[in-house]
Chain A
Amino acid sequence: MHIHKRTFSDWALDIFVYGFMIVLGLVTLLPIVHVFSKSVSSDWALVSGRVNLLPVGFQIDTLVNVITSHAFSRAFIISVIVTSVGTLLSILVTAITAYPLSKRHLPGISFIMVMFVFTMLFNGGLIPNYLLIRELHLINSLWSLILPAMISVFNMLVIKSYYEGLPEALEESARIDGARSYTILFRIILPLSMPVLATIALFYAVGFWNDYFSPMLYINDPALKTLQLHLRDVVMENDTANAINKSADDLMNMSPESIRAATVVASTVPILLVYPFLQKYFIKGVLIGSVKG
């Protein structure tokens, strides 16, 4: 069918394209494979520096010890709580707020819209935010991690443009039947918006799960440490003893290097497990956001 024949430049292009992508993929995977190998290699292999790409002298004791340790599991549960409560509330408020803002013909709506968008361009900065959280007595409360992050204006704009793409006739018939806004929103609009809501919920969830800055600022009670704070203690401050809170005897058999690798792996695996299942949603969502937004 094609009149154009494959020329030398086409072959060269293909070789370059596939070569480039293979190198890119390997560079991305390398650090992950390396740390995984270290987490399951035996200590003598680690100490003698023989672990490169593949595990040497396979063992999973360190990994098991890290996962079952009190500090890790507590931090993990706290992160699960913050992420699930935070995501649920955020997606609810964001989806509700986006609805009136999609009615641009209403008086005053465009001004309120400007108020939201302005916060994307200008913010008070770290110290005023910190002082506010302290004034509200939210230091050492998990709400300090949730409430300020509940409205992301960017996410709201994506949802708003999705609403604007829905046919207006859907709402009009319901309005003629006397339905109020909240009925229309919850019965008609939200059920039709599931793809975009799922994507934005995923973005919020990733944000809450990976947040390091706010817990660092607002949480100093060891009992409320999130997973990212626990990771910081182990990775940056080399607090490996606390990482598995075992007796000194047990620690003798595990090098700090191996505990560090195991903690990183234990925190990465949950994300890697759910990620392939979520991929199709976020790609769809980004498409919606970019085409309309």
Chain B
Amino acid sequence: MNEMITPLKKKAERTAVLRKRESRRRTVWRNIDTYLLLVPGLLLLLLFKYIPMYGVVIAFQDYNIFDGISASEWVGLTQFRKLMHSSEFMQVFANTLLISIYKIVLLFPIPILIALLLNEIRFTAFKRTVQTIIYMPHFLSWVIISGLFMTILSPSDGLVNSVIQWFGGEPIKFFMDNSVFRSVVVFTAGWKEIGWNAIIFIAALAGIEQEQYEAASIDGASRLRQMWHISLPGLLPTIILMLILRLGIVLDAGTEQILTMYNPTVYESGDVIGTYVYRTGLGKMDYSFSTAVGLFNSVVGFILVVSGNWFSKRVLKRGIW
């Protein structure tokens, strides 16, 4: 037995010593096959993520399609000055913040509530049916959802206006009325995603040890108290994580959604940064100005996530990275 173990042991010791001596370069060379696997992914990353990042320099130019980036005239911060003095941009910025804040305040807590309540259901068939139904809208595209709601909210024969008229009210032109358009945007976003957004909280609840509930139950805690003192604290890390991630997309109030829902009559209340970039950039071919708006958007988003993460690390000792 010994004769078999000793050579193996010696070999192991020798390789350990060798490993120590090995330079970084040799480690790389020895694992070159592993590094080579990165090639396709890195190429895609450089081409489709980093080259567009370089492309933001046209925000500091008066970009001209025929001259390209290299020959277009540099204009410094002119585009940004134009942006700050544009009342149209200020309106768009306000719309973006408003829609985003409504979405966070009204829609962020609901998935948490859904997860907490689903956790209380012991009747599995019922629970599974509810889950199947509420996850489903997540898989429908925004164009389909716009179609669904344009049908149900139609002023002439939609279900909602039929009910309003039945009660003696005036029909509401939901997609043409600046006073209700934002509500339509927030409600439909909720309809699509609140069920799906609950999944992560449901998963977190499933990770809480069942013994805690049993112990609390023996101590006489009601189920409401158990929700408050066990389930909710158990969810807290996930809630914070999701809030930080949410911060990063505050300036994306749902570009694709609004593009499929709005029309010129509701630009006043519904035009957000993403849709504005699309309209000024590709509609009016104002590439440089539109890139400046986009850059403003990216920078603010970046600052929000990084500072949110910093804050969370300092105060709560947890962060995304």
Sorting the interface of chain A by its residue count into under 10, 10 to 19, 20 to 34 or 35 or more gives 35 or more
Cα separation A264 to B149 with both chains bound (whole Å): 11
Partner of A35, one of B148, B220, B281, B306: B148
Map CB proximity to A onto B255-285 as digits: 1 under 8 Å, 0 otherwise: 1100110000000000000100110011000
B18 within 8 A of A: no
B218 within 8 A of A: yes
By the criterion CB–CB under 8 Å, are A49 and B162 in contact?
yes
Map CB proximity to A onto B42-74 as digits: 1 under 8 Å, 0 otherwise: 101101111111111010000000000000000
Residues of A within 8 A of B135 (CB): 279
By the criterion CB–CB under 8 Å, are A126 and B45 in contact?
no
- For window 156-207 of B, CB contacts with A under 8 Å fall at 156-157, 159, 162, 191, 195, 199-200, 203-204, 206-207
Cα separation A128 to B42 with both chains bound (whole Å): 19
By the criterion CB–CB under 8 Å, are B35 and A100 in contact?
yes
By the criterion CB–CB under 8 Å, are B44 and A231 in contact?
no
- Please report whether the interface of chain B is mostly helix, strand, loop or mixed according to DSSP: helix
By the criterion CB–CB under 8 Å, are B120 and A97 in contact?
no
By the criterion CB–CB under 8 Å, are B220 and A25 in contact?
no
Partner of B143, one of A99, A100, A150, A235: A235
Residues of A within 8 A of B150 (CB): 235, 260
Residues of B within 8 A of A96 (CB): 37, 40-41
By the criterion CB–CB under 8 Å, are A125 and B148 in contact?
no
- For window 18-43 of A, CB contacts with B under 8 Å fall at 18, 20-21, 24-25, 27-32, 34-35, 38
Partner of A100, one of B38, B118, B159: B38
By the criterion CB–CB under 8 Å, are A180 and B33 in contact?
yes
Partner of A17, one of B31, B121, B259, B295: B121
Residues of B within 8 A of A122 (CB): 53, 298-299, 301-302
A228 within 8 A of B: yes
A4 within 8 A of B: yes
By the criterion CB–CB under 8 Å, are A291 and B139 in contact?
no
B234 within 8 A of A: no
Least CB distance, B314 to chain A, in whole angstroms: 19
By the criterion CB–CB under 8 Å, are B281 and A127 in contact?
yes
What are 8 A-B interface contacts by the 8 Å CB criterion? A28-B195, A31-B152, A34-B152, A97-B42, A181-B34, A185-B37, A212-B256, A236-B146
Interface residues of B (CB under 8 A from A): 24, 27-28, 31, 33-38, 40-42, 44-45, 47-56, 58, 114, 117-118, 120-121, 126, 129-130, 132-137, 139-144, 146-152, 154, 156-157, 159, 162, 191, 195, 199-200, 203-204, 206-207, 217-218, 220-224, 238, 248, 255-256, 259-260, 274, 277-278, 281-282, 287, 290-291, 294-295, 297-299, 301-302, 305-306, 321
Q: Which 8 A-B pairs have the closest CB atoms?
A: A128-B55, A125-B294, A124-B52, A97-B41, A210-B141, A49-B157, A264-B147, A128-B52
